[in-house]
Chains A and B, each alone.
Chain A
Amino acid sequence: MEGTAKKEIIKVLRESILKIEGFKSVTNEMDQPDCMLNDMASAFPYGRFPTGAIHEFISPTAACATSANGFIAGLLSALMANGLPCLWISTKRSLFPAGLKYYGIEPHQVIFIDVKKNKDALWVMEQGLKCNAVAVVVAELNEVSFSESQRLQLAVEQSRVTGFLHRKRPHKENTLACVSRWKIRPKKSYIIDDLPGVGFPMWEVQLEKIRNGKPGKWVFGWRDKQFVSIPLTPLQKIPVLKMEQYG
């Protein structure tokens, strides 16, 4: 009995720390979109994907960037379920609007802003994050400095808009004032019953850093407009990890 009471106290204390740090607790379940990453729940503070914060994605290669955009698109479909539009800012955009339909997004709900310079992209992102009439702001660029990311974080603290900072092939993986850092890599597609052809998209989702959560590695696929989790089997896990550790 005493143990459970202690646990309760610790839980309450933890939540009050989170509140001080700017994470608002979910008072109404309906307010919070369900990001369908239920198998990752243990990694997040409060057990839910943090919205109203900036998430950083790092893609070292073009293939990773495409996968990360796919993963972001999957998250967007949940975040945009409230009917609000999304701002998609890029410096070198190759995203094809019609391709978003597969992820359950109406592509005309996405407003694309194509800019030439990183600086402009960050300015637009900051403006977008300040406006609570948009659901999400996504920015594809390469370099961001720590102080620039701080400005973005300040903007979302007011408006509670979610931001995705997708850094493609950055020169340096410097620390940013973001709530998390993700790396998404493509994985061999998921095929049912060894059918021929390309199956459903699969990604290795690495959560490198998460404030008040537990980082880790998962495998997710996209099927029937939602994320499906595939447990890391030892057979899959060992070769991938070894390659990375020594390579």
Chain B
Amino acid sequence: MAKRILSLWFPYLATDRLSKHYPELKNKPFVLSASEKGRIVIKAANLLAEQEGITAGKVLADARAIFPSIDDFKYDLEVINKLLESLAAWCLRFTPIAAVDPPNGIMLDISGCAHLWGGEPQYLKTIVKRLLDNGYEVRGAIADTIGTAWGTARYGSGFSIVEKGKQIEMLVSLPSDALRLETPVLQRIRKLGFRKIGQFINMPSATLRRRFGETLLERLGQAVGSYPEALHPIKPQQPYQERLSCLEPIRTATGIEIGLQNLLESICNRMGKEGKGFRTGIFRGYRIDGKVEQISIGTSRASNDPLHLFKLFQLKIQHIEPALGIELFELEASLVEDVEEDQEVLWNVGGNPKKIAELLDNIAGKIGMNAIHRYLPTEHHWPERSVKLTSSLDEKPSIAWPADKLRPLHLLAKPEPIDVMVQLPDYPPMLFTHKGKAYKLMKADGPERIEQEWWMATGQPRDYYRVEDENGARYWLFRSGHYEDGEVQWFLHGFFA
């Protein structure tokens, strides 16, 4: 597709910013100055000051001679650059590619965007009107190349649109300043009497190179379109991103849902063809008051099923605050992974891993990922360490679950100390008291000694007993320590069914 570039120029960017903040300055001439080479030089002047003959580049003392009571403020380049960046970010609602063009311009790549606003004239009018309403004096021009758009915005008449392939026709009428040349080159051109680009554009390139150097040819080529030039967008384009602008601001949940469905369908369609899927997705709504509302989702397996993803987003749509309305929706897949073909890796036979993953995503979306646990065996005898958590749905146990040792169905997270009556040392207990209640034990199995793993931890070994009380309830008790060492402590650790 042919490129179309919109160049915006803010002739009074710095002063407009100030009069926006201090409305009382609106009807007064004032300047912004900074010290340069030991002098205080005017960096920006507002329209009224310019009418008095005070322009940027003059020394402040000279300006004071013309207009003694002129107001002077400090010029801060950093603030201006930040302002420019935020204006470019604001322009993202009109096109996904916006770049700053220092010191006081913005470049937008509007290829394929303008028709959404009913054509280029309408598009340009909308942007300019919104900026003017915001208090910024602005000029703009649309052309095929960055160079021509830049020149036309600054030296053309008002708001011009250069039709496709008509760059040269436009350029011939523009002054030589419209080529973005360095001052020495520009001075040399002027010295030779070239006021307009048309006077030298058709000269042989060898002559131009000899007289003015390579830069002129480069700039000329960029303006005409024979020489490449790239924008540096403020926001690098995401490969998986879809946008949907609305004719009317959207304020209802139903409207948001429809927008989301549309976006999901187109993005999933593309992902399906490429074999990719969402792991993380962000859905943004650009509100007309300039705020951006966003919700995000995560999946446990890459998915490009629009219905499933919609369900995940749906749980969060209520968190979007549309306020006066949302004018642009944007869906971005910030983490994309290859979709795994449905192999029956997880569940031995049958099963539908995709459905399970979707169910778990749904649960994770509402309750949180940390609510879902799946365990695998580890090669440890110590009960607390004999299972480990896995976050993956597809991970299979590396060793078989041990079946030779009986383990309780319920295990206390922390063993609880109990008082025990034992006939003889190393005999199983006859009675134990837990939380003030005594349990008379009738049967016992054990002991099963489990030693501390010395390479991980030091401490007493545990002697586990499986016991049953007179009602048939079965417990897992252990004694920590040896009798010959004196101190022993009994604990209740689990329950058998």
Contact = CB atoms under 8 A, between A and B. Distances in A.
B355 A133 contact: yes
B359 A131 contact: yes
B443 A198 contact: yes
B472 interface: yes
Given A98-B386, A99-B409, A111 B373 contact: yes
A128 B358 CA distance: 11
Contact of A94 (B352, B363, B406, B411): B411
A127 B355 CA distance: 12
Contact of B471 (A63, A70, A101, A198): A63
Contact of B497 (A71, A107, A132): A71
Contacts, number: 171
A44 interface: no
A98 B377 contact: yes
A101 B401 contact: yes
B372 interface: yes
Interface residues on B, range: 35 or more
A100 B374 CA distance: 13
A109 B411 CA distance: 19
A85 interface: yes
Interface residues on A, range: 35 or more
Nearest to A72: B497
A157 interface: no
Nearest to B388: A97
Contact of B371 (A67, A114, A185): A114
Interface stretch (A23-31, A146-154, A186-194, A210-218): A186-194
Contacts of A165: none
A189 B359 contact: no
Contacts of A79: none
Nearest to A102: B406
B402 to A, nearest CB: 7
A113 to B, nearest CB: 5
B367 A188 contact: no
Nearest to B406: A102
A111 B413 contact: no
A134 B413 contact: no
A96 interface: yes
A108 interface: yes
A73 interface: yes
B385 to A, nearest CB: 11
B374 A108 contact: yes
B411 A113 contact: no
A98 B363 contact: no
Interface stretch (B176-184, B205-213, B343-351): B343-351
B350 A83 contact: yes
11 contacts: A62-B495, A66-B495, A96-B383, A96-B411, A99-B408, A101-B401, A107-B375, A110-B375, A111-B356, A120-B367, A124-B367
